[in-house]
Structure 1
Amino acid sequence: MKRAIPVLALSIAGLVPVWLYSPGPAHEGEINEAAAAPETQAQTQAPQTTTAAPKTSGAAPTTQPQQTQQQQTQQQAQTRTVSGPAVNTSEGVVQVQVTLQGNKITDVRALRAPNSDPTRMALPILKQEALKAQSADIDTVSGATATSTGYKQSLQAALDGAQ
């Protein structure tokens, strides 16, 4: 009984700071990578293509296959940016924007994401994994499970919308 009162008093004293805790300004708001880095001219302008005269090899030149090849080259060189939907997670809203050149993912940016330490650490990893996998089939980042799930859902929807 002699120990009960000090243990109770110290337990309450230890819990008071936990009850009074509120997140500071570092945890408020959202992350927006697209606003932090302005778009480059390559993303805002249509790609320029040049055409060269066909080389002659003695046979009659055929323009049909060459036109098809030029169209394929233009489609591959076409750069487009597609935004995925905003996905609500338990940590906040996550929305990504994907830049594609042809069918290749060249960049992924977080338009919206929770402003927390786990999210700030996870976003570069998620971007790297998406660029490496060239799809939304990426691993979840430990400690940022909700953000990772929202990131993958928004990225998949953006990729689906790009096709």
Structure 2
Amino acid sequence: MKWAIPVAVLSVAGLVPVWLYTPGAAHEGEINEAAAPPVTQEQQAAPQTTTPQATAPKTSGSAAPKTTQQQTQQQAQNRTVPGPAVNTSEGTVQVQVTLQGTKIVDVKALRAPNSNPTRMALPLLRESALKAQSADIDTVSGATATSDGYKQSLQAALDNAK
């Protein structure tokens, strides 16, 4: 009995930090495709918008300057529009769409729940959006909440791009 009070006090003192703990943004268990995106064949073939050419290559003929000029125009047409963060029952979903003119050339998940269904659904949702060229895409079975949040964020980004 004489140990009951010290044991209770120490137990409470040990649990207080656990009760007060709140994870930071890096520990929320979210996926961020934009932080370390995998390089796909499409991305390798697409012109890069972040690396402007300082000088045009010197070649004979008029074909090369037109090609360089066309690439520069394409780079200028590419724009990236983030969608809003959408809270779902599984977590927050936010996407970013890259447009070339009115064509969707890339969609990345800026935030998504870090779960097996979501990890499997994100590539399917991206592929569907690129194929449909809109946010009117099918829901991925098993990742309904993530799919709905993805579609809402994508539609809002497309609306903001207009």
TM-score range, shorter chain: 0.5 to 0.7
Change (3 A) 1:38 1:144: closer
- How far, CA to CA, are the matches of 1:75 and 1:121 in structure 2? 32
- Amino acid across the alignment from 1:130: A
Change (3 A) 1:79 1:114: same
Contact 1:77–1:102 (CA under 8 A) maintained in structure 2: no
- How far, CA to CA, are the matches of 2:159 and 2:53 in structure 1? 23
- How far, CA to CA, are the matches of 2:88 and 2:53 in structure 1? 37
- Amino acid across the alignment from 1:32: N
Aligned positions of 1:59-70 closer than 5 A: none
- How far, CA to CA, are the matches of 1:111 and 1:120 in structure 2? 13
Change (3 A) 1:75 1:28: closer
Change (3 A) 1:111 1:96: same
Q: How many angstroms does 1:36 deviate by? A: 1.1
SS at the partner of 2:148? helix
SS at the partner of 2:93? strand
Give 1 or 2 for the bigger CA radius of gyration. 1
- Amino acid across the alignment from 1:44: T
Q: Deviations over 1:45-102 (max 9, x none)?
A: 5699x9x7xxxxxxxxxxxxxxxxx9xxx48960000000000000000000000111
Query: % of aligned pairs identical?
Result: 77
Change (3 A) 1:100 1:147: same
Hey, what does 1:113 align to over in structure 2?
112
- Amino acid across the alignment from 1:147: T
Hey, what does 1:160 align to over in structure 2?
159
Change (3 A) 1:96 1:154: same
- Amino acid across the alignment from 1:90: S
Contact 1:95–1:151 (CA under 8 A) maintained in structure 2: yes
Hey, what does 1:87 align to over in structure 2?
86
Structure 1 position 43 matched with structure 2 position 49: yes
Contact 1:100–1:107 (CA under 8 A) maintained in structure 2: yes
SS at the partner of 1:150? helix
* Number of residue pairs aligned between Structure 1 and Structure 2: 118
Q: How many angstroms does 1:37 deviate by? A: 2.2
Which runs of 4 or more aligned residues in structure 1 lie more than 3 Å from their structure 2 counterparts after TM superposition? 38-41, 45-48, 74-77
- Amino acid across the alignment from 1:159: L
Alignment TM-score, normalising by the size of structure 1: 0.63
Listed as ranges, the gaps of 5+ residues in structure 2 are 1-26, 57-61, 63-68
- How far, CA to CA, are the matches of 1:45 and 1:76 in structure 2? 9
Alignment TM-score, normalising by the size of structure 2: 0.63
